[in-house]
């Protein structure tokens, strides 16, 4: 392999990291649809649970081009989003997500604004990624005078994930996270808990939690 596109690079990073996982987690990480998309300058990556279907529902994880600042950041964001895939819906940036990132070889990571460097990766991951980075040769996103290609002004402050625990990368007190539940007749309830054992008085059905989205 002499050159890589960004798309090939994030796939290669995933292939390197999943070798560290036990079989079931490795299958789950490889099951996710991993893409390199435009995104926005405000968000480095986003994971949508149950948003891709190919025989069954998969998570869809996007690494966002317009928040790109370096190949090492792209690698870090790739593992950040795979951490969400392994942790599952509704986990935000809590302890379970951080432990999944660690198993993937990503360390010292926050909900948003992580200053990615090779020191953020476990030694085996660090060496492999460092060998891949010089091979990327398909260019990079080009903003125009503070305006991205969609015509929207760029925002240079990376925002934290709305599903995260705590503010500004997980520091400070925890934020309450609203979950959305829907009954058979379409009544929507938003509550600050993972389960909602309630019955709709209109249709008599129980409330089912909708799939969640995680972004950073």
CA 202 to chain centroid, in Å, comes to 37
**Does 170 have pLDDT greater than 50?**
no
Distance (Å) of CA 155 to CA 42, 143, 203: 6, 11, 45
Distance (Å) of CA 105 to CA 59, 111, 156, 170, 176: 20, 16, 27, 19, 29
pLDDT at position 143 is 61
Contact 216, 164 (CB under 8 A): yes
* Tokens describing residue 7: 């798309």
Lowest mean pLDDT segment, chosen from 2-16, 121-135, 189-203 = 189-203
Among residues 185, 207, 203, which one has the least CA distance to residue 194? 207
Distance (Å) of CA 96 to CA 84, 92, 103, 135: 9, 9, 11, 33
pLDDT at position 65 is 93
**Does 162 have pLDDT greater than 50?**
no
Return the ∠ at Cα 142 (arms to 129 and 1), rounded to 5°: 30
Contact 9, 136 (CB under 8 A): yes
- Residue predicted with more confidence, 67 or 181: 67
Domain assignments of the chain as residue spans, ordered by start:
6-135, 179-215
DSSP element (H, E) containing 7: helix 6-18
In the structure, what pLDDT confidence band is assigned to residue 159 with cuts at 50, 70 and 90?
A: low
**Does 144 have pLDDT greater than 70?**
no
In the structure, what pLDDT confidence band is assigned to residue 156 with cuts at 50, 70 and 90?
A: very low
pTM of the model: 0.70
**Does 93 have pLDDT greater than 70?**
yes
């Amino acid at each position: 392999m002499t050159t890589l596109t960004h798309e090939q690079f994030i796939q290669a990073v995933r292939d390197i990291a999943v070798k560290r996982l036990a079989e079931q987690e490795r299958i789950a990480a490889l099951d996710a649809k991993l893409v390199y998309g435009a995104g926005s300058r405000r968000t480095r990556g986003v994971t949508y649970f149950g948003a891709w279907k190919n025989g069954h529902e998969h998570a869809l994880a996007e690494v966002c081009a317009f928040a790109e600042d370096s190949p090492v950041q792209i690698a870090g964001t790739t593992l950040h989003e795979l951490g969400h895939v392994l942790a599952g819906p509704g986990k935000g940036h809590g302890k379970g997500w951080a432990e999944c990132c660690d198993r993937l070889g990503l360390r010292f990571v926050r909900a948003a604004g992580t200053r990615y460097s090779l020191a953020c990766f476990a030694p085996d991951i660090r060496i492999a990624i460092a060998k891949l980075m010089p091979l990327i040769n398909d260019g990079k996103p080009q903003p125009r005078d503070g305006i991205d290609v969609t015509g929207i002004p760029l925002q240079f402050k990376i925002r934290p994930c709305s599903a995260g625990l705590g503010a500004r990368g997980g520091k400070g007190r925890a934020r309450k996270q609203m979950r959305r539940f829907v009954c058979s007749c379409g009544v929507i309830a938003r509550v600050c808990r993972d389960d909602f054992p309630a019955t709709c008085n209109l249709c008599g059905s129980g409330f089912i939690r909708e799939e969640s989205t995680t972004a950073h």
